Amino acid sequence: MSAIPLGLLPDTSSVAADGSLSIGGCSIADLAAEHGTPLFVYDEAHLRARCAEAVRAFGPGRAVYATKAFLCTAMARLAYDEGMLLDVASGGELFVALRAGVPASALVLHGNNKSSAELRQAIEAGVRHIVVDSFDELGRLDALHATGLPAPRVLARITPGVHAHTHEFIATGQDDSKFGFNLGNGDAARAVERMRRSASVHLDGLHCHIGSNVFAASNFAKAAEVMAAFATPLDLPELVLGGGLGVAYVEGEEAPTITHWANVLLDACQALGVRSNVSVEPGRAIVAGAAITVYAVGTIKDIPGVRRYVAVDGGMSDNPRPVLYGSGYEAFLPRAVAAPRTERARLVGKHCESGDVLVFDARLPAGLAVGDLLATPVTGAYGHSMASNYNKLTRPPVVFVRDGEARVVVRRETFEDLVRCDVL
Ligand code: LLP
């Protein structure tokens, strides 16, 4: 029955006298009229506040933004301006961050299967750290060093054998994982030993990441404990405890704040006698709640005794998370934010398959009609970054709003973009 909880909307959301939503002083209806739908609207103040909170909580140089959650030139600059370092997980993410003007010394390269070309790109640029993930990668680094490249500063990614409570596709800390050097079977110790003796790398510290969208602070404390036990005798300067802090997507969910997360991690490390610099790599917690996706309703289909389907002009191409992970979202009408949501419907997209679902059992206000704008909140992380051109839909634009001004930071793709790589 309840209206959309305001806590799920971006920080600067406000409801006008007529019940309609503005973010960053910009009316959502006006933005949709100007930029079309689907449309990602990001609250710039919200983004900046989360970056600043992370830097304050962990300390300068110890909060690294995981760009995979959402990356474009404007976002790379914003995170860097707010004092964050950036984690990039491919040559492409590295390219975008560098092209945005972020210095290589603020970039950390990840990846479980980095190619020699990506490693070369990172070493030539002079990234702050490469997080080494496998013995094969160490072999590639040896070979690159033999060609005359300098030895990069590296961290060793450790799989601590801690199972985070989250979807199995995004849990990474357990023994059965493609990521990192396994602690339990001795690979971690062997890798560290090899790196310490190697002339092709400088080992600065250890890294772990137990998973994503994790709500239980105790999971992070457990990882810190396991990592501290391994790290202490090694006495290396850096310890990175990854990202993974969960966010609330639907009514009733509650996630720890970045500050609370920092307190849990830093207190645990202090109690364990960790002397290294402790840093983290949040992605979702920085960007998820900053954005909403605005769609237009195109078709409403009632199947008596079965359900109502409400179809919008986007779908699994701009938000694959419901299909991939069964993730839950809420929906609401930007023209009537406080309207009680008394009706039920399946919110679907326009793709050619039944799996194209945005909200399996959406609560919506009465009176929803074709032509209405409909929005899903908390779409700032892993939405735009995982968007596709399935069915040759053009990917939506991204607009940053702040103090009554809106700026397009990623333009809508055109049909011409759809054939720009085609060779005749
Ligand atoms: N550091 C490393 C090494 C990671 O692999 C990740 C995420 C992060 C940091 C950032 O995690 P976050 O703070 O955003 O949870 N597509 C999935 C999420 C995949 C996360 C992959 N790694 C989703 O939509 O839920």
State in Å: Cα 33 to ligand 1 middle: 33
Instruction: Decide the pairing of beta strands 21-23 and 26-27.
Output: antiparallel
For residue 107, the model assigns a pLDDT of 98
Overall CATH class of domain 44-287: alpha beta
State in Å: Cα 310 to ligand 1 middle: 30
Cβ–ligand 1 contact at 283 (below 6 Å): yes
| DSSP state letter for 280 | B
Cβ–ligand 1 contact at 284 (below 6 Å): yes
Cβ–ligand 1 contact at 215 (below 6 Å): no
Cβ–ligand 1 contact at 67 (below 6 Å): no
Specify the residue with its C-alpha closest to ligand 1, atom 23. Answer: 382
3-state helix, strand, coil in the chain (%, to 5): 35, 25, 45
Annotation says 352 is catalytic: yes
Cβ–ligand 1 contact at 324 (below 6 Å): no
CB–CB of 356/316 below 8 Å?
A: yes
Q: Is 361 helix (H, G, I), strand (E, B) or coil?
A: strand
One of 51, 72, 352, 421 is an active-site residue; which one?
Answer: 352
Secondary structure of 34-78 in HEC code, one letter for each residue = HHCCCEEEEEHHHHHHHHHHHHHHHCCCCEEEEHHHCCCHHHHHH
Tens place of pLDDT per residue across the chain (424 aa): 699 999 999 999 999 999 999 999 999 999 999 999 999 999 999 999 999 999 999 999 999 999 999 999 999 999 999 999 999 999 999 999 999 999 999 999 999 999 999 999 999 999 999 999 999 999 999 999 999 999 999 999 999 998 877 777 777 778 888 999 999 999 999 999 999 999 999 999 999 999 999 998 888 899 999 999 999 999 999 999 999 999 999 999 999 999 999 999 999 999 999 999 999 999 999 999 999 999 999 999 999 999 999 999 999 999 999 999 999 999 999 999 999 999 999 999 999 999 999 999 999 999 999 999 999 999 999 999 999 999 999 999 999 999 999 999 999 999 999 999 999 9
CB–CB of 359/347 below 8 Å?
A: yes
Ligand 1 closest atom vs CA 69: 14
Total-model pTM: 0.97
Cβ–ligand 1 contact at 330 (below 6 Å): no
Measured at the CA of 279, the angle between CA 141 and CA 288, to 5 degrees, comes to 100
Q: Which CATH superfamily is domain 6-43+289-418 in?
A: Lyase, Ornithine Decarboxylase; Chain A, domain 1 (2.40.37.10)
Specify the residue with its C-alpha closest to ligand 1, atom 5. Answer: 209
Q: Which of 212, 323, 379 to mutate to test the pocket of ligand 1 (most atoms within 8 A of CB)?
A: 212
| Helix intervals (H) in 153-216 | 187-197
State in Å: Cα 75 to ligand 1 middle: 17
Give the Å distances, CA to CA, from 92 to 110, 113, 150, 206.
12, 14, 22, 24
| Domain ranges across the chain | 6-43+289-418, 44-287
State in Å: Cα 211 to ligand 1 middle: 7
Q: Which residues are bridge partners to 131 per DSSP?
A: 155
Q: Is 152 helix (H, G, I), strand (E, B) or coil?
A: coil
For residue 83, the model assigns a pLDDT of 98
